[in-house]
Amino acid sequence: MPSADDGIRPAGFIDAKTARMLRLLKPWKASLPALAFFFVWYWIALCRLDDKGELTLSSFTSGAWFFLGFPFFTIFGLVYAAFIARQVRNRKQWLLWLMISLSIVLLVASIHDSLPVSRLEAIIGKRAARLSRIERLRVADSFNAGITTEGVITGPNELLNLIDQHRSLRKAPKDVIRRPILGEAVPESAECREDDLAVFFRDPATGRIWFRARSGPPRP
């Protein structure tokens, strides 16, 4: 049984075993911020994106895998929080600061990877992304079809060729299905290039490029 000094007493809804497990999270001033930090990182790493050219916080929403993996990642979050709390209790400052430093680096990397430019780079390459202006970019995950990215971008005349160099695209057949992308109809005059996971349409009159790309084939 926990003693009075432990600060946690078994109650009608908390048995002695649970009380002992909760003691691993003491001091709360260390474990609760650590747990909050973990879930902020977890949310950012799995968030969806809908950028309409003016990036705001509302451009980011919770991803499907954030909810699906929540019970599993809660366990990891508690382990992380308990580890931080243990270092505070044992006064191992060097290990505590090492863990905090690594956590900050991981958070910064996740923020960087979630930005529109980073998401676009993953699809069309760094050279093409640097020359592009994003009109609309939407990134959404799913339970069985990976990550789908749809976008409308503009840039110089050689933009599609740069994307081709990055992805080794092939010319699509003339009867390719031109489904609307982000609610916009693709002009019949638009040049089309594709690979196994992406399709790109370029309007020669305006230079606008519509695209849809998946991270992988749908699972059965």
H/E stretch holding 171: strand 170-171
Are residue 105 and residue 135 in the same domain, yes or no?
no
**DSSP code at position 11:** B
Would you place residue 4 in the very low, low, confident or very high pLDDT band (cuts 50, 70, 90)?
very low
Are residue 123 and residue 208 in the same domain, yes or no?
yes
Whether residue 3 lies inside any domain: the answer is no
Are residue 100 and residue 82 in the same domain, yes or no?
yes
Whether residue 87 lies inside any domain: the answer is yes
Are residue 161 and residue 202 in the same domain, yes or no?
yes
Whether residue 1 lies inside any domain: the answer is no
Whether residue 4 lies inside any domain: the answer is no
Contact predicate 133/153, CB 8 Å: yes
Please count the structural domains in the chain: 2
To the nearest whole percent, how much of the chain has pLDDT over 90?
60
Is residue 111 predicted with pLDDT exceeding 50?
yes
Are residue 40 and residue 84 in the same domain, yes or no?
yes
Which residues span the domain enclosing 102?
A: 11-52+59-114
Would you place residue 5 in the very low, low, confident or very high pLDDT band (cuts 50, 70, 90)?
very low
Are residue 35 and residue 128 in the same domain, yes or no?
no
- What would the pLDDT profile of 150-165 be if each residue is shown by its tens digit? 999 999 999 999 999 9
Are residue 173 and residue 209 in the same domain, yes or no?
yes
Are residue 153 and residue 203 in the same domain, yes or no?
yes
**Can you give the C-alpha Rg of the chain in angstroms?**
24
Is residue 141 predicted with pLDDT exceeding 60?
yes
Between 57 and 43, name the one with better pLDDT: 43
